[in-house]
């Protein structure tokens, strides 16, 4: 049994391009980067999935975490449209932090959106997949089909899906279940689009944490249980 967390930490360039409140609340990105790294280090989870991680943010996380850091760099580099970037490294990453032995088994960048994808690691007989899925429905369905193949059971699939859990589960197909977020809770604005989804495992005690004004998304935590001795390790 482990606790997992997922959080879209909001790449600075995306925040500026879309006029997010974070830009006003945190005019100095270096201070926000440090605050996010500290918050991530304190999350009460053995596995943490992060989306929209800038190069600066990744460096800060590496410097402050005791967990193993797995990072996949996207082919797309965000481009500022309104102001010059404050970042030293504008690149964007999908990240998994794991407390204990783990190994990367697959990386997937979606060919129809080079700024979205999936990163899978194997840890203690469980496949853990971090993902960020496109908001546009024609892209999302195909991306979820690819993630279905990536999530070798038993698995936990978590991230920013840009859709409600019923929509995501319908596209993933049979065998997947979502951790039930408390009634009325939202993870981004008025939406609940960040999910923890399991395959041949159980997800309980889901909760949404305060983002402390650091991102437009909130961290989501859940407890995952499975049977390691019956897990199938593909050995990829």
Give the phi and the psi of residue 113 in degrees, each rounded to 5: -160, 100
Residues 71, 104: contact at Cβ < 8 Å? no
Adjacency order of strands within the sheet including 103-109: 103-109, 117-123, 126-132, 155-160, 194-199, 176-178
Q: Specify the pLDDT at position 48.
A: 98
Give all domains of the chain, ordered by start, each with its CATH number: 2-227 (3.60.10.10)
Q: What SS3 class is residue 63?
A: helix
Q: Specify the pLDDT at position 191.
A: 95
DSSP 7: E
Residues 153, 175: contact at Cβ < 8 Å? yes
Q: Specify the pLDDT at position 229.
A: 54
Question: Which pair of tokens denotes residue 152?
Answer: 């070798």
> 10-residue block means of pLDDT along the chain (236 residues)?
97 96 96 98 98 98 97 96 95 97 97 96 96 94 96 97 96 96 93 97 97 97 85 46
Q: Is the dihedral of CA 80, 220, 161, 95 positive or negative?
A: positive
How do 103-109 and 68-73 pair as beta strands? unpaired
Question: Which pair of tokens denotes residue 183?
Answer: 């009634």
Q: What SS3 class is residue 11?
A: coil
Residues 78, 57: contact at Cβ < 8 Å? no
Q: Specify the pLDDT at position 129.
A: 98
Q: Specify the pLDDT at position 231.
A: 47
- 47, 38, 74, 167 alpha-carbon torsion, rounded to 10°: 60
């Amino acid at each position: 049994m482990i606790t997992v967390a997922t959080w879209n930490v909001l790449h600075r360039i995306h925040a500026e391009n879309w006029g997010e409140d974070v830009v006003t609340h945190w005019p100095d990105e270096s201070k926000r980067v440090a605050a996010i790294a500290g918050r991530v280090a304190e999350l009460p989870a053995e596995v943490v999935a992060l989306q929209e991680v800038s190069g600066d943010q990744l460096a800060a996380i590496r410097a402050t975490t005791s967990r193993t850091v797995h990072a996949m760099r996207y082919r797309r580099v965000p481009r500022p449209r309104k102001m010059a970037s404050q970042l030293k490294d504008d690149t964007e990453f999908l990240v998994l932090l794991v407390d204990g032995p783990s190994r990367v088994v697959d990386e997937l960048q979606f060919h129809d959106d080079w700024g979205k994808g999936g990163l899978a690691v194997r840890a203690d007989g469980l496949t853990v997949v971090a993902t960020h899925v496109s908001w546009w429905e024609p892209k999302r369905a195909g991306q979820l089909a690819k993630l279905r193949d990536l999530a070798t059971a038993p698995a936990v699939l978590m991230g920013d899906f840009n859709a409600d859990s019923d929509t995501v589960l319908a596209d993933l197909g049979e065998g997947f279940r979502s951790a039930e977020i408390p009634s009325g809770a939202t993870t981004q604005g008025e939406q609940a689009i960040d999910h923890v989804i399991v395959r041949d495992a159980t997800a309980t005690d889901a909760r949404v944490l305060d983002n402390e004004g650091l991102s437009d998304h909130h961290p989501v935590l859940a407890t995952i249980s499975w049977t390691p001795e019956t897990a199938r390790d593909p050995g990829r």
